[in-house]
Structure 1
C-alpha cells in the first residue's frame, strides 16, 4: 500500500529541487533520509520533512506493520513548477528588469517493496 505526501509553493526553483529529487528516487527510505539530512543544498531540508511526512502517512495507512519490516522505498518523486512571483529591479537609464521568483510543487510516493520468497 503506497502513501503520498505533497509540498506546495515551496520558494525554490523547480530546477534546483529536481537535482535533489533525482538523488533519492528509487532508494530505500532510510538511505534517502540520510542523504537529505547531510546534503549541503538548502532545498534538502523541506524535502527531508516531506519524506518524513510520507512515511508517517504510510504508517497511518498500514497500522500494525513496522517500517523496518516493510522495506519502504521512495517509489516516485516529481517536481512541478508552482506559481511565479514577478518583481521589478531597477536597471540603467530608467529601465526595469523583470525578476521571476519561482516556486515548485513536490510529490513523494512511498511504497513497500515486495520481497520475493525463495
Structure 2
C-alpha cells in the first residue's frame, strides 16, 4: 500500500491504548486498516509471549510508516506500446510498551 494511505491510519492510533486501537481499526472504512490491525495483533501477541506483558496494559508508544521499494511492471497497450504500473510499498513499525513499567522508568530519570 502507499505510504500516504498507511500514514492516514497510523496517525489516528499513535499513543492510544491497545483496546482503543483495536476498536478504532475495526471501525475504520479504509482498506489499509486491515493489514495494520493484523500488525497490531501480532505485536501484542509478541509482547505477551516473549516479554510476558499483559495485553490490557499495552499502549502504542511509537508508530511510523516509511516508504519501501516501488514495484515496477509493464502493461501491454494498443499498437505495441507499454504502460508502466508503479506499485508503492511501505514499511510499518509499531512499538508497544507497558503503561506501568514505562511510567516507572520515566520517574527514575
| TM-score, normalization by structure 2 | 0.80
Identify, as 1 or 2, the structure richer in helix.
2
Map 1:1-118 onto structure 2 (within 5 A). 12-63=1-52, 65-68=53-56, 71-89=57-75, 96-114=82-100
Gaps of 5+ in 2: 105-109
CA–CA distance in 1 between the matches of 2:86 and 2:25?
A: 27
Aligned Cα root-mean-square deviation (Å): 2.3
Q: Which has the larger displacement, 26-35 or 89-98?
A: 89-98
CA–CA distance in 2 between the matches of 1:13 and 1:57?
A: 26
Task: Give the structure, 1 or 2, with the largest relative contact order (CA under 8 Å, sep 6 or more).
Answer: 1
CA–CA distance in 2 between the matches of 1:66 and 1:31?
A: 15
Q: The residue matched to 2:16 in structure 1 has which SS?
A: coil
- Change over 3 Å in CA distance of 1:57–1:93 after alignment to 2: same
CA contact (8 A) 2:44 2:96 kept: yes
CA–CA distance in 2 between the matches of 1:20 and 1:103?
A: 15
Paired positions, count = 103
Identify, as 1 or 2, the structure richer in strand.
1
